[in-house]
Structure 1
Amino acid sequence: MSAPVLIGYFDSEAQVLDATRAVREAGFVLHDVYTPYAVHGLDDAMGLKPSRLTWVCFGAGLLGCTLALSLQYYTSVVSWPLNVGGKPFNSFPAFIPVTFELTVLFAALATVAAFLARAKLFPGSRRSVLPRVTDDRFAIAVTPREAPSELDAAEDLMRRHGAVATDLLEEVAS
């Protein structure tokens, strides 16, 4: 069984930024911060590292480009060479549109798949819903590092930094 998760609700982005920094400094495990819109400085306050999705996108795009060029070269030069208007068999300018399309297709599909896998958003999986967070509230999900009895200290810390309400959940989507 996983440790219970304390959710603190806030009304402003300044409060959630201060509380996020305080929660990290106090040594609690910060699961996530839920906001209705992007908050500048929240990535630094949470201590997030740069995303690796860019490398997935680059690698998949490179794979798509390589496959497109290889397939077109093979069919035009090796497998079925046709003399069309005296053009060379390896006519690179004719390969550009298909290469571009496959590069974008592979990069987009791989990036979406990697994002869904990283966010654990599989079909049929149920997730806890935090009311009003996508509307006008901010929320922080924390777990104590060691003993569940530290939840009172975490709740007190969040209240000191402006939490208007708190909830205790058995688990939360990470």
Structure 2
Amino acid sequence: MSDRLIYATYTNETDTLEATTAAREGGCEIIDVYTPYPIHGIDKAMGLKQSRLNWVCFICGLIGALVALWFQHWVASVDWALDVGGKPWNSLPSDLPVAFEMLVLCAGFGSVFALFAVSRLYPGKKPNIIAPEVSDNLFVLVINESHSKVSGSDLKQLLNQYQALKLEERLLEK
């Protein structure tokens, strides 16, 4: 089965944002919006949920800090305990700098690897270029016409209301 996609090209961010909001409110399934730079509010206009990447970052950082604290305690108190002048074997303040560094390291690596996994980015992946101009000066709104509550002609009329530069239909093979 194939889905019919409509690519609406715009020249400015205001028209793109308004067309995205109108299409979503009209019952259209928005696949993506390609822009040369981030647009404030486009995530709400598309109906995207908040990213869970911040939770991944927090959990990876917490694991890194706890592993660093555990390892330092194990080395200083269990594996190679040294009695130096009657001082305690394990002291938390001396362990905090290493724990903080491990927190930052694990949070950073965890976030990057999670982003690559969720985005399906890997070395050698062929890019899916919608239009070469998108990275320069154009904005493209991609709508799945097959799953939209609006008919094709009404959808094109809706998108043209916001000064669409070009409307293009493509089939997406699954």
TM-aligned CA deviation for residue 109 of structure 1: 0.8
Aligned to 2:155: 154
SS in 2 for 1:30: strand
Aligned CA-pair RMSD: 2.1
Q: Distance in 2 between matches of 1:146 and 1:129?
A: 23
After TM superposition, give the deviation of residue 94 of structure 1 in Å: 2.0
Q: Give 1:29 deviation, angstroms.
A: 0.9
TM-score norm. by structure 1 comes to 0.88
Q: Deviations over 1:28-64 (max 9, x none)?
A: 1101111122212222211222111111111111101
What is the distance in 2 between the residues matched to 1:109 and 1:151? Answer: 45
- Point out the more displaced range, 19-28 or 117-126: 117-126
Q: Is the 8 A contact 2:9 2:164 kept in 1?
A: yes
Counterpart residue identity of residue 126, structure 1? K
Letter in 1 for 2:167: T
Q: Which residue of 2 aligns with 1:143?
A: 144
Whether 2:96 is the aligned partner of 1:96: answer: yes
Would you say the 8 A contact 2:3–2:146 is kept in 1? no
Matched residue SS, 1:4? strand
Are 2:67 and 1:77 aligned?
A: no
Structure 1 pair 169/112, CA: closer, same or farther in 2 (3 Å)? farther
Residues in 2 aligned to 1:75 and 1:145: alpha-carbon distance in whole angstroms? 61
- The runs of 5 or more residues in structure 2 that have no matched partner are none
2:133 match: secondary structure: coil
CA deviation after TM superposition for structure 1 residue 98, in Å: 1.4
| CA deviation string 1:67-98 (max 9, x = no partner) | 00001101110111013454321022221221
1:16 maps onto 2:19 in alignment: no
On the 8 A contact 1:11/1:138 being kept in 2, the answer is yes
Q: Tell me the alpha carbon deviations over residues 13-34 of structure 1, each in whole angstroms, 9 at most, x when there is no partner.
A: 1100110011112211101111
Q: Distance in 2 between matches of 1:78 and 1:88?
A: 12
Tell whether 2:147 aligns with 1:117.
no
SS at match of 2:9: strand
CA deviation string 1:90-129 (max 9, x = no partner) = 0222212211111111111111111111222233322311
Could you tell me which runs of 5 or more consecutive residues in structure 1 were left unpaired when the two chains were aligned. none
What's the % identity of the aligned pairs? 39
User: For residues 135 and 85 of structure 2, what CA distance do their matches in structure 1 show?
Assistant: 60
Give the whole-Å Cα distance in 1 for the aligned partners of 2:162 and 2:97. 55
CA distance in 2, matches of 1:156, 1:129: 26
The alignment's TM-score, normalised by the length of structure 2, stands at 0.88
